[in-house]
Structure 1
Amino acid sequence: MPLHPLQTPHSGYHWDGKDNRFFEGWYFRLTLPEARHTFAFMYSIEGHIGGQPHSGGTAQILGPDDSYFWRTFPDVGQFWAWEEGLGLGHWRGKTKTQPRLLSSSEFKDQISEGYQVTATWHQGCLNDPVLGPVAWQYYTEPVYGWGSTGQPQQSTAGLLSSLPIFEPGWQILMAHGHATGWIEWQGQRYEFANAPTYSEKNWGRSFPQKWFWLNCNAFDGVPDLALTAGGGRRQVLTWMESVAMVGIHHGGKFYEFVPWNARVTWHITPWGYWHMQCERPDYVVEVIGTTDLPGIPLRAPTHNGMAFCCRDTALGDLSLKLWQRRGSELDLVIAATSTQAGLETGGGPWDGPWVKE
């Protein structure tokens, strides 16, 4: 199985074969700047051993104008995933085809409903009784994984993420890439070439109690720029901690702001306003996300299975500024804006702003 050279740690499937509670989820985002549309594909699997209360898979799609598509995959036996690298798929309905990566023509001929995805290929077809069919097929050329160009790719949560003490695990699989292909959505066909694309995943036995997230790789006039930022209240062994990070890729360089190398502060409202500021001895970054849109509820893993517990928009306003310290002065390195940022809050309680100073 050939792996892409930008493959990050934790790209493979993490389930250890045990029958205790475990989920794994993947997120693939495609932005069409000219049409001002986003397609975000979210896949999950839980209880892969089968026969458990929450066994099964799901596919969610966040479509144009924050529209929503949802499909379940009850049969865990029709799911496949690679342990060595990014590769997974799930069929729905009756098929004699063994779960595995198929050629694009085999998939089209043999699979009535399902998806398959690797680091460089994404294909699927699903049919909702109300919304109708959705189909997609596109090739991805990764540009940034999670690290500087030419350097080893990094774990998003650092070295400790390889140990099962954090719940959940989180890994950006591809901070930025170019996608070429097509999507058919509610009777309309979207064809695209070199569209910005992004992917990440999470896994574990519990989800954060509360979290926020910002993502953008479609900045106005700055094509070679990608941002992912987020924070959460997560479990570490027997205690809970609140952590957050900002990661920026630009000009072949990776700028990372994490609790062990920077002072990370934030002010996040229940919905509509995201503000993060991080300071390192050599760099300072400020990220501001805002939206007047209502957003759309999305499902995420909970102790009671997949449930609506987060809110997203793919049409958020975002401002990013990065400065380099030179003595007592700050020199501006990057200043960019976008109106196609992904913004999210989830979990709770959100009875007021979440502030970390």
Structure 2
Amino acid sequence: MISRRGRRCGAFMGGKDKREYFEGWYLKHQKGSKTISFIPSYHVEKDGRISILIQVITEKNAWEFQFLPSQYYGDRKRFYCQIGENVFCEKGIRVNLKSKEAEIQGVLRYGSLTPPSGDIMGPLSYFTMECNHGILSLSHKIHGSLLINGERYNLNGGCGYIEKDWGTSFPEGYVWTQCSVFDKGHMAFTAAVAKVPAGRWKFSGCIAIVYYGGRQYRLASYLGARIFRWNSGEFMICQGRDLLWVQYPWKGGQSLRSPVKGRMSGKIQEALSCKIRYRFWRKGKLLLDVTADNGSLEVVNPGCFSSIPT
């Protein structure tokens, strides 16, 4: 996917000239009850120190693996990230991760990626944002398996999702969700609502894509979408006669590190596989009503949501 800045959003954008900067990819793999995500990332602190991290999250566990800056390579023309023996790219991943807590090895190959029809940030990609967001694939097939602490994760025939974030820090408060569903026809949901800083002010922004029947339906603040309900258990996005209503019983999840001015000093929680209900009305008519048991969810600082109209 080519961004409005003329580069693939998956390509590495960092460098020695960056300060208080982070760049990370999120690669999710799912088949039935088995779900695992890898988060390779690159960070530069204010004093110029660089750190490299791979975080791994499953339904019940989360681990992190640290690397030296010399072990990192990121391609500036395409999505290709190599950290030590580990490779993450458009064609798949190869991992060989070892620590006192976990050992993860294996190769996963990807089918054709499904990028969004245009930059998910829209005109916001022209501005310097605290956190930029990109989606490389809404859905793609997976072939292969992983060995995780001696347990075989057979992901052959499963589904994948890839996104990317880069900038200085994650938003002050946000909800993010992603889910792929197969039992009622192939469909995928990805949506986020967030407190977005804009100079001295902050506004509530949203982006969402519903992928169904080979079509993509997008709702976004820059297209006129508004957030009409947002709390720790649900959010609702309305754009003209289109409406996306997401409900979730948030109970917390696995702990992950997050960027704060480039440094991975923040903490967030992600529930990688939980029950989420998605309802989508298209032009006033209910198109989808799906309750999934394998949705992924992050809810950060719900206290800042109170200023959102309901």
Whether TM exceeds 0.5 here: the answer is yes
Give the number of the structure whose alpha-carbon radius of gyration is greater: 1
Higher relative contact order (CA 8 A, sep 6+): 2
**1:13 paired residue number:** 12
Checking the alignment, whether the CA contact within 8 Å between 2:174 and 2:302 is kept in structure 1 is: no
What amino acid is aligned across from residue 240 of structure 1 in structure 2? Answer: K
Query: Post-superposition shift, 1:223?
Result: 4.1
Q: SS at 1:306's partner residue?
A: strand
**1:136 paired residue number:** 106
Of the three residues 261, 268, 286, the one matched with 2:245 is 286
What amino acid is aligned across from residue 37 of structure 1 in structure 2? Answer: K
C-alpha distance in 1, partners of 2:282/2:151?
Answer: 45
For structure 1, list consecutive stretches of 5 or more residues without a partner in the other structure.
Answer: 92-113, 148-153
**1:1-357 to 2 correspondences below 5 Å:** 9-33=8-32, 36-47=33-44, 52-53=48-49, 55-63=50-58, 65-73=59-67, 75-91=68-84, 114-129=85-100, 131-147=101-117, 154-161=118-125, 163-217=126-180, 219=181, 221-261=183-223, 262-269=225-232, 273=233, 275-291=234-250, 293-303=251-261, 305-325=263-283, 330-346=284-300, 348=301, 350=303, 355-357=308-310
**1:111 paired residue number:** none
What amino acid is aligned across from residue 66 of structure 2 in structure 1? Answer: T
- Shift in alpha-carbon separation, 1:132–1:298, aligned structure 2, 3 A: closer
Query: Post-superposition shift, 1:354?
Result: 6.7
Query: Post-superposition shift, 1:76?
Result: 1.1
- Shift in alpha-carbon separation, 1:350–1:266, aligned structure 2, 3 A: same
What amino acid is aligned across from residue 289 of structure 1 in structure 2? Answer: Y
Checking the alignment, whether the CA contact within 8 Å between 2:168 and 2:261 is kept in structure 1 is: no
C-alpha distance in 2, partners of 1:230/1:351?
Answer: 15
Q: Deviations over 1:290-328 (max 9, x none)?
A: 24x441221111137213521111121111222232xxx
Query: Post-superposition shift, 1:238?
Result: 4.4
Query: Post-superposition shift, 1:205?
Result: 2.3
What amino acid is aligned across from residue 61 of structure 1 in structure 2? Answer: V
Percent identity for Structure 1 against Structure 2 = 18
Q: Deviations over 1:238-285 (max 9, x none)?
A: 43322122211111211111112222333221xxx2x22222334222
C-alpha distance in 2, partners of 1:223/1:142?
Answer: 18
C-alpha distance in 2, partners of 1:127/1:81?
Answer: 21
C-alpha distance in 1, partners of 2:29/2:307?
Answer: 29
Q: SS at 2:124's partner residue?
A: helix
Query: Post-superposition shift, 1:47?
Result: 2.4
- The worse-fitting range, judged by mean Cα deviation, of 259-268 and 17-26 is 259-268
Query: Post-superposition shift, 1:84?
Result: 1.4
For structure 2, list consecutive stretches of 5 or more residues without a partner in the other structure.
Answer: none
Query: Post-superposition shift, 1:172?
Result: 1.3
What amino acid is aligned across from residue 146 of structure 1 in structure 2? Answer: P
C-alpha distance in 2, partners of 1:83/1:304?
Answer: 20
- So what's the TM-score if we normalise by structure 2? 0.89
- So what's the TM-score if we normalise by structure 1? 0.78
C-alpha distance in 1, partners of 2:263/2:19?
Answer: 14
C-alpha distance in 2, partners of 1:185/1:205?
Answer: 32
- Shift in alpha-carbon separation, 1:303–1:190, aligned structure 2, 3 A: same
C-alpha distance in 2, partners of 1:88/1:304?
Answer: 19
C-alpha distance in 2, partners of 1:209/1:258?
Answer: 19
Checking the alignment, whether the CA contact within 8 Å between 1:165 and 1:237 is kept in structure 2 is: no
Checking the alignment, whether the CA contact within 8 Å between 1:212 and 1:230 is kept in structure 2 is: yes
Checking the alignment, whether the CA contact within 8 Å between 2:209 and 2:216 is kept in structure 1 is: yes
C-alpha distance in 1, partners of 2:176/2:138?
Answer: 14
Query: Post-superposition shift, 1:127?
Result: 0.6
